[in-house]
Amino acid sequence: MPEVWFAPICAYCERSDTSFWSEPLNALSNAAFLLAALAGGSEARRSGDGPALALALLAGLVGIGSFLFHTFAVRWSLLADVIPIALFIHAYFFLALRRYLALGIGAAIAATLLFVIVNVGLEPILDAVTGRSLDSLTNGSIGYVPAILALIGIAGGLLWPREDCAPRCTRRRNGFALLRIAALFGVSLAARTLDARLCDIWPIGTHFVWHILNAGVLYGLVRLATRHRAAPAPSAAVFLHAP
């Protein structure tokens, strides 16, 4: 590999040098993703839910990739960190459109491609408008804003009033569940953002909190997808055949 792939990256409070275990909390807290993957994957496997099982496996890869980044902390390990995260976000978005909102496959693919464009283009546009690097200001958290907005948007679609949806129907329950998951995601994102700002008073940082809480987010999403598919409520029948 070219030397650039081995260029060291020091992005978090806990890292003080280039050694493998310079970020012990950030590295070991990735076990939470493996636990989330095991728990979510177990439910998906029992339900025979292939797409949810694939998402659980992606959650496990998120933990492995993040561990590699917080130990090796070089350019190639950064890719091992961000690629599984991006795959999970976009795969879940597609599944949510199909399973929760019952979009046709063509519409779901088109919407997912648009979501990819938003994810890629939002930060440069905001940087141009504000004249500042929002990546630096947010410690890289700006890149996750489209994901949390997508959760809120899909929840809004589920909560939109419908005549065939009683107050406690599956559709509404899942809408509120997505809002709770989005709220947890917001808290975890705050921990990620504050890591750089708290270095002087809290040298270990708060990035490991992001890992633990975000593992809960991924587990919640996989669990909700599995239970939504398996729900017997008549109002959810249209979703049961979604992939």
CA distances from 125 to 110, 129, 163 (A): 22, 6, 40
* pLDDT, position 229: 77
213: number of Cβ within 10 Å: 20
Query: Considering the entire predicted model, what is its pTM?
Result: 0.92
Per-residue pLDDT of the chain (243 residues; tens, 9 = 90+): 578 899 999 999 999 999 999 999 999 999 999 999 999 999 999 999 999 999 999 999 999 999 999 999 999 999 999 999 999 999 999 999 999 999 999 999 999 999 999 999 999 999 999 999 999 999 999 999 999 999 999 999 999 887 667 656 888 999 999 999 999 999 999 999 999 999 999 999 999 999 999 999 999 999 999 998 765 543 333 333 444
d(C-alpha 242, C-alpha 221), whole Å: 16
The two structure tokens encoding residue 215: 């593992």
Counting Cα atoms < 13 Å in the Cβ hemisphere of 120 gives: 7
Q: Where are the domains of the chain?
A: 88-239
What pLDDT, on the 0 to 100 scale, is given for residue 93?
98
Token digits of residue 88: 């999970």
Q: In the numeric block, which tokens belong to residue 192?
A: 């990620």
- The Cα-based distances of 239 to 84, 104, 160, 168, 235 in angstroms read 26, 11, 16, 17, 9
Residue 194 to residues 119, 136, 167, Cα–Cα distance (Å): 22, 12, 38
Neighbour count for residue 211 (Cβ, 10 Å): 25
The Cα–Cα gap between 194 and 45 comes to 37
State residue 208 phi and psi, 5-degree precision: -65, -30
Q: Report pLDDT for 166.
A: 62
Helix axes 75-99, 50-72, angle to 10 degrees: 160
Residue pair 34/60 in contact (Cβ under 8 Å)? The answer is: yes
